[in-house]
Amino acid sequence: MAVLLTHILVPYIILTVASWQFNWLTDRWIVIGMAGAAIPDLIKIEILVDAGVVETLLGVPFKYAPISSLGGVLLIAGAITVFFERQRRQIFSFLLFGAFSSLVVDGLRVFADGRSGFWLYPFSWWPPPTPSLYITSDVRVLVVSLLISVVVFSLDRWKY
Amino acid sequence: MNRKAIARIVISVLLIGGVASLGIHYDVQEDSYDPYPDTENLKIAPEEYIDRQVFVFGTVEELSEEQNTATIRIETDNGPFTADIERFSTQRGVQSGGVVQVYGTFQGEYLIQADNVRVVNPAGSSNIYKYVVSIVAVILIMILFFRYWSLNLQTLGFEVK
Q: How many residues does chain A have?
A: 160
For an interface test with A, give the residue of B6, B8, B27 to mutate (most A CBs within 10 A): B27
> Mind telling me how many Å the CA of A106 is from chain B's nearest CA?
13
State the sign of the Cα–Cα–Cα–Cα dihedral A97, A103, A108, A114: negative
- Residue A98 has a pLDDT of 98
Confidence check: pLDDT of B21 > 80: yes
> Mind telling me how many Å the CA of A96 is from chain B's nearest CA?
15
- Residue A99 has a pLDDT of 98
Is there a cis peptide before residue A11, judged by omega within 30 degrees of 0? no
Q: Is A48 on the interface with B (CB under 8 A)?
A: no
- Residue B109 has a pLDDT of 81
Mean of pLDDT over chain B: 90
Secondary structure (3-state) at B74? strand
CA distance B81 to A82: 44
Instruction: Provide CATH code, domain B39-124.
Output: 2.40.50.140
Cβ neighbours for A108, distance < 8 A, ≥ 6 positions apart: A116, A130, A131, A132, A133, A134
Q: How many residues does chain B have?
A: 161
More confident residue, B42 or A66: A66
- Name every chain B residue with its beta carbon within 8 A of the beta carbon of A27: 148
CA distance A156 to A154: 5
Domain boundaries, chain B: 1-33, 39-124, 128-160
Beta bridge partners of A151: none
- Residue B160 has a pLDDT of 93
Write the pLDDT tens digit of every residue in B106-150: 998 889 999 999 988 887 777 788 888 999 999 999 999 999 999
Q: What is the pTM of this model?
A: 0.91
Instruction: Name the residue among B103, B133, B157 with its Cβ closest to that of A85.
Output: B157
- Find, among A9, A51, A45, A49, the residue nearest to A30 by Cα: A9
Domain boundaries, chain A: 4-159
Inter-chain CB pairs, A–B, below 8 Å: 153
- Residue A151 has a pLDDT of 97
Compare all CA atoms of chain A with the CA of B29 and give the residue at the minimum distance: A125
Instruction: Name residue B84's amino acid.
Output: D
What average pLDDT values come out for chain A (160 residues) when binned by 10 residues?
87 97 95 97 92 90 95 98 95 98 94 92 95 86 95 89
